[in-house]
Structures are given as C-alpha cells and as structure tokens.
Chains A and B, each alone.
Chain A
C-alpha cells in the first residue's frame, strides 16, 4: 500500500513541470558549485604546497647567523585545506591562511579571504554547502507544502478516506513521496562529490566515513524539513498559507535565529578588540621575565637561582651561555602568558558555543551547520587545533635555537653564529587534523539537537494525522 502511495506521489511530482524545472535548476547549480569549488580547492592546494616548500627552502638556506636572529627571522606555518572543504567551506574564508612563527610572539593567523572581498561576500557564495543548507530545504518546502492542501482543495482527500486507508499509512506514503526525490538528489550530489574527491591527488587525507557521516546529517536535516512541511500542509486551510508559514519557518530557522544567536552571544560575551587583547598580553609580559632585559626583577631572580643551582659566583662561570638560557626561560614564560590569554579567548568562544547550542533547539539549521563544517574540518575548532599545533611547533623551534645558542657560546658572546647546517636539522611543521571520533564528541550537543528535531518532528506529524 505504502509503495503504491509513494509511487503515485513521485509520479505526480515528476509530472508537474514546475517541480521538474526547480529540481533541474538545483542540480545544475549544484554541479556548477562543485566544479567551481573543486577548481578553487586545487588552486589553493597547489599554492599551499608551493608556499610550504618555498618557505622551508628559505629557512634552510639562511646564512650562518646567531640562532636568535634566525628565531626572529621566523617561519610561516600554512594552514592546509582539506578535501571535504569543497563541500562545506565553513568558516574558512573568515580565518587566516597562515601563521608567522617568530621569537617572543604568538601571532594570529593572517589574511582571511573575506577581508579581501566586497560586502557582497556576506550574502553567501554559490558553494555546495549553500545549496545543501539553504536551497534544498526550500525545494523540500516547494514539494511538500501542498501535499495535503491540494487534496483538500480538489476534494480528493474525502475520496482517499472513503477507501478506508489508515491515516498513518497515508502520511508515511506522502512523507516518503516528498523525501525520496530529495534524498535521491542528495545521493546524486554526494556521489558527484565522491567522484570529484577521488580525482584529487590528496584523496588519502580524508576518509570516506566523513563523507558518509555528512550525507547522513543532511538526510536527517531533510527528514526534519519533510515532516515539518507535511505538518504545515496538514494544518493549513490552503496551499498559499501552508507555503507562507513554511517559508516563515525556513527564514527563522536558517537566517533569523542564527543571527539573533550571534547578537546575543556577542552582547553577553563580547570578544576583546585586537588592540586590547595585544595590550593585555603586553602588560603581562612587561611584568614578567623578559628574555632581553637582564635588569628586570624576574630576570634578577632567575640569575640568582641559576647561580645557586650551578654553585658558581658569576654568569661567566656557568657551563653554558646564560643569555641563551635566559632567552629560553623568557620564551617559556611568555608562552604561558599567551596560553592563558588564548585560553580566555577560547573560553569566550566556548560561551558563544553554549549560546548557539541553546538555540539549536529552535532551529534545525544550526546543528546541521555546525556538524557539516566540523566533518569538513572547516569549523572554528579545527582552526583552533591548527593554531595550537603551530604554537607548539614555535616553542619547539625556539627551544632548539636557544639551546644551540646556550650550548655553543659563552656569556655575552652575541657575535656567535651557528652553522647553516643547523637550519636543516630543525624539523618541519607537520599538522594532522583531529580524528572523526573527536570531531563527533566536540559536536555532541549538535547531534543531540538534530536527533531531537528528527524525533519531535516525526511525533508531531503523527500527532497531527488524527484529524484526517
């Protein structure tokens, strides 16, 4: 019985010209979006590889110089782009692409793509995630808004009821009739994505499991919209009211609520301005151990402690260059200051996340948005992860350089120059993204919210079938 109903609904949808045209347009737009995104991804990846190897070349081919000069000369860590970013670009265009790693300073990632674009970029770009998150639910609304109202308007609902059909079976049949075409379109889209991902040279850096999880998330999202469309159609007097009320829900869910959540988060827990953040770090640094300033109080304490520990009377008697040693201690101390301040920043973002999480129960868009970009590794957590890894590498670099300075020269010997072979000995920056299990754990609230939406929308649909 259900099969007959589903077949009838799909046949009817396929026979309706406007649905065929809408479906075709969405498919063409999706293919266009994928092709453009793949081209963009390949270009960025190529540039990333060139820049990475060039940066290493520049680093390794420095002349003989003092290791601390090399530390100031610094190096760049370039943020890798992941294959699934061609489906969901997430916050990628709002975060920087590279971090400059130098002595005494933890830098922010620089050059976010959005800062180079006009205000138009804020409207959104035709990318696969734009279609999957915004356009597909609209297509669902188009297909589902009149699924019951048209039967009411034509008077065919009475005819169906007179045949003694179980209302629940009717609803399931209609639900599948609306959901199946969209699910099939989504499957086509993800198959195209799979083929495009397979054609990439760095295909190995993503697991097919991520793609399947993403597909599942979107199918759940569409199932929620299907149920809500059917509820609206069941409760509305005519197709027009049903369509308008569904559109109000769509705009609230996809645009208004996320924006209101942002405003609330920023009002309750504002981010510090860049200048005040830097100044707070500068103030803390000035109070503590400065690698350069042997007259500061903290430096004097360290000096006394070191002399005591090695049981010598002057810094010249130490078995290493005290300048290099103090420089490293200063680095470690400053790294702690940075760690504390960046942790505060993370806490602010954590509170923002709590606000967003509380809003996920008002909008199925929000949990889908967060899960999708996390799986594509284009979310803010992935960026933090990269930034932390870069900072860890910076500290490793400083330690190696300062240790070389301390071990191979004498106190006050700033003219010491390390052999250029040292630059090659220092390890390259390698970054591996978090595992799938970690990503899912970070997004547990979004998963709970999305499943809640699925269950509640299903239950509500069956609750409202009673009047049929």
Chain B
C-alpha cells in the first residue's frame, strides 16, 4: 500500500510541470551561483599570483644590487634605499603573506569580499598599521553576492515551501480528502510519505545539480564535499519537517502559505537580524574612535619623551648595545624610531588586548545564539567549509601579525648593531605559512543542534491531531 502510494505520488509529481520546473530552476541557480563564486576565487588567485611574481622580481633585483655593492660597484638607487641597509631591506623587500582559497571557497563569499588575501608587512609595520580590509565598493558589500550559500540558505526554503505548502489542504479543497480518509493507511503516514517523496525528489535534484556544477568547475569530490552535501540535506530536512507540521494542522492552503512564509521571514531574516542587534545592545562593539583617541594621547606622551626613550630601551636590551646611538647618522635615527615604536607597542598592548577581548565577547554571544536559526547554522557551516568565516580571517590576521614580529626580530638586531644586510641572509629570511586547518570547526556542533531541532519538531508532530473536517 505504502509502496503503491509512493509510486502514485511520484508519478503525479512527474506528470505535473513542477518537476521539470524545479529541475531547471535548481540546476540554473546552482550553476549561476557557482560561476559567480568561481569568478571571485579566480580573481583572488590571480591577485596573489601577481603579488608573488612581483616579489620574486623584486628579490632578484635586490640580489643583483647586493652583488654589485659587495663588488664595490655603484647602484642606481638613493643611498637610503641601498638593500645593504637592514632598514631598506626590511621595508622595501617585504614578503607576500598569502591566504590561498580552498577548493570549496566558491561556495560562500562569507567575509572574503571585505578582507584582503595577502599583505606585505614591512619592518616599520605593526599590528596597528597593517590594513587587513580590502578595497571594495561598500555598496557591493551592502547588497551582497549571489553565491551558492545565498541559493541554499535563502532560496531553497522558498522552493520547498512552494512545493509542499498545500499537500493536505489541496486535497481538502479539491474534495478528494474524504476519499483518502477512507483508505486503510493512517492520515499521518499518508502525509509523511507524501512529504518524504517530495524531500527525496528535491534532495536528488539538488545533489545532481551540485554534482554537475562540481564536475563543470573541476572540483574534486572529497570528504569536505560530502560534509557540505550532508549540511545541505539537514537544512532541507528542517524545512520539510516544518512543512509537514503545518500540513498536519490541516489549515487552508492560503493559511499554510502565510504561516510557512512567516516562518521563512522569521528564520532567515528576523532572527539573524535580532541576534545581531542584541549583540550590539548587550555587548556593544568597543569604539575604534576612542581607541584612536587613546592611541594619539599615548603618541603625544611618547613624542615628548623622545630623548629618554632610547636610553631606557637600550637599558632593557643590553644585547643590542654595541654602538652609541648617534642622532646624526641614519642608524641613530632608526634606533630612536624603533625604540619609540617599541614603547608605543608596549603601551598600546593592554589597550588592544582589552579591545580584542570586548570584540570576542560580542562574537561569542552571537555564536551562542546561532542555534536560534537553522539558517545561521548553515551559513556558519558553509563559511567554515569555504574558509571564509570570521574565525578564518581572525586566524589569518594573527598569523600575519606573528610573522610581522618575526620579520622585525630578524632585522632589528642588525639595525641596533649597525650591521649590513648581506646576500647570505636572504635565505634565512623568515617565511610565512598559514594553516587554515587549525581553525576550530563549528560543523559538528552546528549539525548536532540542527539534528536536535529536526527531532524536536518531529516529536512535536505527534502532539498535533489531523482535522478531518
């Protein structure tokens, strides 16, 4: 009986225009969104490749200049740009610190349109001066991208709603409900098998569309791709369970449509915006304006104490005292500069830590409330899979800042000991490496929450009785 019903249901849908419409719709949405994401990734790869090529060319020139200088030849540069000077080598030949895309980065734009994917930290840079934000049109950032995550998080639920809002109510409205009620199959099971057939159809069509897209974009199918598919299926299941619940209530098609669309507005739009706003109210983002304010006051104090600073600095770093700091030489000027900078960084340290901690609190609050909306859960998971989450960019930022410290630590002893930078030192220059796999994954937790939500809704369905009239 059940098998027969499922077959009948499948044939009815097949004969209806819905199946072909949804097939074309899902495939075209996936391909278009995937193509958009792919374009963004290619632009990112090209910009990183160009920067690395430029760095290689600059390194080759630096080596040639160092060769000429060691042979006692003149070079066509201003004296302060001579690469033998550690300040020039550290400032004018920085390393590229790339954040390469993963093979699934095209799935979700996440934060990738806002932050840059390589910086070139120099000797004089610090954690306050390096800009990690990309040059982007704020209008584009405001309106967002038509990427795969938009299709899956926003549009897919609407396809499900339009496919399943009137399963039971249409039978009532057409007058065939009484006939179904007389069959030996329970109404609850009858409705469940109808929802399951629809769920299976959408899942199969979507997975086929995604596979076609992966093949076209030459994306290798691995464990991460399967995790991605599983996330999408869980999200689909949530919406189908919701549709099942609503159909069980036995209201009219129009009421079902209104309530389901209301759920869509609440889950996809209202809850995320409310959570965002609650974080702003309860844990306001500490003000950057006030941070600048404090930084400037500190800078003013440091500026007034210039003469004392170098003495104090050298007293606490006796290993660097090999020459007298003489203001009249370039080395002397740089020594004073780095001593002041070091003091600034030391004094700014607690302020920046306090600022980062306040930000962390706000972000933790947002994470805690993510379970309120399956859309937030899916978006977070997709961002993680794509390596475009806030956590990824925070981790990248920390890696770059750590590398900046290494870079400075390499050159500063040369500056203070008034040593020249040589060709042999090039091979010893610190190297940047960013391992995105170390970023903590929220997928398991988010998926568990999603399963709990779906199970709870299914359990709730047993408390709802079908109105037969």
Residues on A facing B (Cβ under 8 Å): 18, 29, 33, 36, 39-40, 43-44, 47-48, 50-51, 54-55, 58, 61-63, 73, 76, 78, 90-91, 94-95, 97-98, 108, 110-127, 130, 134-135, 138, 142, 146, 149-150, 238-240, 243-244, 247-248, 251, 255-256, 258-263, 265-267, 270-277, 279, 293, 295-296, 345, 348-349, 352, 356, 369, 379-380, 383
> Residue B379 at the A interface, CB < 8 A?
yes
> Residue B274 at the A interface, CB < 8 A?
yes
> Residue B376 at the A interface, CB < 8 A?
yes
8 A-B pairs closest in CB distance: A123-B272, A94-B138, A91-B138, A239-B254, A111-B288, A259-B146, A240-B253, A258-B143
Taking the closest CB of chain B, its distance from the CB of A296, in whole angstroms, is 8
Secondary structure call for the A interface: helix
Interface pair A108/B135, CB less than 8 Å apart: yes
Interface pair B376/A115, CB less than 8 Å apart: no
Taking the closest CB of chain A, its distance from the CB of B162, in whole angstroms, is 5
Q: Known A-B contacts: A36-B280, A58-B300, A123-B273. Give 11 more (CB < 8 A).
A: A90-B142, A119-B383, A122-B110, A126-B276, A135-B265, A258-B143, A262-B143, A263-B145, A265-B137, A270-B43, A296-B78
Taking the closest CB of chain A, its distance from the CB of B165, in whole angstroms, is 7
Taking the closest CB of chain A, its distance from the CB of B83, in whole angstroms, is 15
Given known A111-B288, A123-B379, A251-B158, contact A76–B276 (CB-CB < 8 A): no
User: Could you jot down 12 A-B contacts, CB within 8 Å?
Assistant: A55-B293, A78-B289, A115-B114, A123-B379, A124-B273, A150-B254, A244-B161, A247-B158, A258-B144, A275-B120, A349-B137, A352-B140
Interface string of B26-49 (1 = CB under 8 A from A): 000000000010011001000100
> Residue B134 at the A interface, CB < 8 A?
yes
| Chain B residues closer than 8 Å to A127, beta-carbon distance | 277
Interface pair A146/B142, CB less than 8 Å apart: no
| Chain A residues closer than 8 Å to B8, beta-carbon distance | none
Interface pair B138/A138, CB less than 8 Å apart: no
Taking the closest CB of chain A, its distance from the CB of B246, in whole angstroms, is 12
Interface pair A262/B135, CB less than 8 Å apart: no
Interface pair A273/B141, CB less than 8 Å apart: no
Interface pair B254/A146, CB less than 8 Å apart: yes
Given known A95-B138, A118-B363, contact A244–B276 (CB-CB < 8 A): no
Interface core residue of A98, A119, A240 (most chain B CB under 10 Å) = A119
| Chain A residues closer than 8 Å to B370, beta-carbon distance | 120
Interface string of B223-241 (1 = CB under 8 A from A): 0000000000000000000
Chain B: CB-nearest residue to A89:
B142
Interface pair A356/B389, CB less than 8 Å apart: no
| Chain B residues closer than 8 Å to A112, beta-carbon distance | 114, 133, 138
| Contact for A272 among B135, B140, B359, B363, CB less than 8 A | B135
Taking the closest CB of chain A, its distance from the CB of B306, in whole angstroms, is 9
Interface pair A97/B289, CB less than 8 Å apart: yes
> Residue B111 at the A interface, CB < 8 A?
yes
Interface pair B142/A91, CB less than 8 Å apart: yes
Interface string of B126-159 (1 = CB under 8 A from A): 0000011111111111111110001000110010
| Contact for B366 among A118, A149, A150, A239, CB less than 8 A | A118
Chain A: CB-nearest residue to B144:
A259
Taking the closest CB of chain A, its distance from the CB of B192, in whole angstroms, is 22
Interface core residue of B117, B135, B274, B390 (most chain A CB under 10 Å) = B135
Interface pair B39/A273, CB less than 8 Å apart: no
Interface pair B47/A276, CB less than 8 Å apart: yes
**Bound CA–CA A127/B273 (angstroms):** 8
Interface pair A138/B293, CB less than 8 Å apart: no
Interface pair B296/A119, CB less than 8 Å apart: no
| Chain A residues closer than 8 Å to B162, beta-carbon distance | 244, 248
**Bound CA–CA A377/B279 (angstroms):** 26
| Chain B residues closer than 8 Å to A352, beta-carbon distance | 137, 139-140
Interface pair A240/B166, CB less than 8 Å apart: yes
> Residue B284 at the A interface, CB < 8 A?
yes
> Residue B285 at the A interface, CB < 8 A?
yes
Tally chain B residues at the interface, Cβ within 8 Å.
87
Interface pair A126/B274, CB less than 8 Å apart: yes
Interface pair A118/B274, CB less than 8 Å apart: no
Interface core residue of B155, B272, B284 (most chain A CB under 10 Å) = B272
Given known A118-B366, A120-B276, contact A108–B258 (CB-CB < 8 A): no
> Residue B439 at the A interface, CB < 8 A?
no
| Contact for A274 among B131, B140, B143, B285, CB less than 8 A | B131
Interface pair B134/A274, CB less than 8 Å apart: yes
Given known A240-B257, A244-B257, contact A259–B296 (CB-CB < 8 A): no
Interface pair B296/A54, CB less than 8 Å apart: yes
Given known A238-B254, A273-B47, contact A265–B292 (CB-CB < 8 A): no
Interface pair B136/A260, CB less than 8 Å apart: no
Given known A124-B272, A239-B257, contact A275–B116 (CB-CB < 8 A): yes
Chain B: CB-nearest residue to A240:
B253
> Residue B304 at the A interface, CB < 8 A?
yes
Taking the closest CB of chain A, its distance from the CB of B428, in whole angstroms, is 25
Interface pair B269/A124, CB less than 8 Å apart: yes
Chain B: CB-nearest residue to A373:
B142
| Contact for B300 among A62, A94, A134, A276, CB less than 8 A | A62
**Bound CA–CA A109/B371 (angstroms):** 35
| Chain A residues closer than 8 Å to B144, beta-carbon distance | 122, 255, 258-259, 262
| Contact for B290 among A50, A238, A277, CB less than 8 A | A50
Interface pair B261/A247, CB less than 8 Å apart: yes
**Bound CA–CA A126/B78 (angstroms):** 56
> Residue B427 at the A interface, CB < 8 A?
no
> Residue B303 at the A interface, CB < 8 A?
yes
Interface pair A239/B134, CB less than 8 Å apart: no
Interface pair B116/A273, CB less than 8 Å apart: yes
> Residue B118 at the A interface, CB < 8 A?
yes
Interface string of B282-318 (1 = CB under 8 A from A): 0011011110110011011001100000000000000
